[in-house]
Amino acid sequence: MAIHKTAIITDGALIDDTAEVGPYAVIGSQVKIGAGTKIGAHVVIDGDTTIGKDCIIFAGAAIGLEPQDLHYTGEPTGVIIGDRCNIREHVTIHRATGEGFTVVGDDCFLMCNVHLAHNCKMGNGVIVANGTMMAGHVSVGDYTVVSGLCVFHQFVRVGRLVMVSGLSGTRQDLPPFAMGDGRPSVVRGINAVGLRRKGIGTAVRSAIKEAYRLLYRSDMNVSQALPLIEEQIEPYPEIKEIVDFIRSSKRGVADSIAAGREAMDEVAFDAI
């Protein structure tokens, strides 16, 4: 195990023999670090925090510290980070409040100064660019890309394979396979590039586009559009995912229908 002589490792920490810990890092007593993971200089990891295999955590990151929540009273919560994550300088990931864990999936890339607050849940393959902040209980679906300096209100959900443009902010949910942009964020189209890169075929992409046409570019409201989507569009799993996401939304989905018709970018929407 390569541990720099200036690192502080508290008794009880479980660090794999193949892991590395850089200078002046501080590792708490409940921390578990997997094989091949590299902890950079001045990183602080505390609480009941588990970090998977082959992660790289760069200088100054702070993981598992107490949440910025006045309701937190020291309850035994923690952080779980998956395998092969790349966590850049000064990222902050706080432990959960109440109960449970703040979770980051496998193969995620969090760029400099990203903040994940208590109880956030991030799927696999998520990319979050510099300076983005997620309040408590935000969830992000697999393979979503969030550009820089975005802000997410507490309890917001972002679906799978969403593309969020820089400087966006949202108090409402962003549905799967969409492109979100603006403050407040609106749906500008479908994430055709992301869908193609993940091997989603033309027929499914066309079905997704048609579903969003009914939701955002018709005279129907959501309660009218969803049954029509189920009746008229081939029942691919992705279509069910969209319908289930919208029906289960507690904050409402980004855009009123009227705003969506005005905001929808013709080029982005028509692309499949």
* pLDDT < 50 stretches in the chain: 256-258, 260
pLDDT digits (tens, 9 = 90+) for 230-261: 999 999 999 999 999 999 999 999 874 445 45
Chain center to CA of 16: 27
Structural domains of the chain sorted by starting position, each given as residue range(s) with its CATH number in brackets:
2-140 (2.160.10.10), 195-270 (1.20.1180.10)
- The CB-based long-range contact list for 142-145 (8 Å cut-off, 24+ gap) reads 142/105, 143/194, 143/198, 145/194
* pLDDT at position 257: 41
Of the candidates 72, 69, 13, 73, which has an alpha carbon nearest to the alpha carbon of residue 43?
A: 13
- Residue 245's pLDDT is 98
Burial class (CB in 10 A: 0-12, 13-18, 19+), 222: middle
| Amino acid letter, residue 134 | M
Model pTM score: 0.94
Torsion of CA 151, 255, 222, 247, to 10 degrees: 0
Residue 189 contacts residue 264 (beta carbons within 8 Å): yes
List pLDDT tens digits, range 172-188.
Answer: 999 999 999 999 999 99
